[in-house]
Amino acid sequence: MGFEEDLKEWREVEIEFATCLLKKWASMVELAPDKKFSDWDIKAKQWTLENFYEVKDDKTSKTSWNVGFEYKCNWNPSWIYVSKSDFITYKVDGKFYCVPRAKLLIRLEFVDKRKTKWGDWDRAELFIVKKSDFFSFVDRNWWVS
């Protein structure tokens, strides 16, 4: 699959999560611009409270029993470090799980993980975490299915 097809799939997952937010919590959602934009994927608002979400889909977790977190791409810090989102949302096994971004960054420092390279020409670097460890990160108050 090419990069353009990947972008289309990622956008569909963002729209799916935005729809979940509208059904369960938010009165308004806004998707990030289509072009390269690393601050956030979705802005959601309820009354005066505004939250920003980075949305990811891990399609390999069903068969690998792991969740991957890209931390570097093209030799530069990647989304996990550059996003300005309040929450990182992962679609794992068909459900969305939200983790406060700061909590995720701290937990990734202390959990057993391995590093690997991924993608075209190994340009992306990932932390690979057991799925069971990832579920221990999840703030159940923000679990959205």
Which phi-psi region, left, alpha or beta, contains residue 20 (left: φ > 0; alpha: ψ -120 to 50)? alpha
**What secondary structure letter does DSSP report for 121?**
G
Dump pLDDT digits (tens) for 90-126. 999 889 999 999 999 988 888 877 778 876 667 888 8
Query: What's the pTM?
Result: 0.87
CATH code of the domain in which 113 resides: 3.40.1350.10
Give me the domain span that covers residue 135: 3-144
Q: For residue 31, what are its two tokens?
A: 């998707």
Closest CA to 112 of 80, 136, 140: 136
Tokens 């989102």 — which residue?
85
Per-residue pLDDT of the chain (145 residues; tens, 9 = 90+): 556 676 678 889 999 999 999 988 889 999 998 777 779 999 999 889 999 999 999 888 888 899 988 888 888 888 888 999 999 999 998 899 999 999 999 888 888 777 788 766 678 888 899 998 898 888 776 667 6
Q: Are 95 and 135 in contact (CB under 8 A)?
A: no
SS3 content of the chain, % helix, strand, coil (to 5): 35, 35, 25
Q: How many domains does the chain contain in total? A: 1
Distance, in Å, from the CA atom of 122 to the CA atom of 124, rounded to the nearest integer, reads: 6
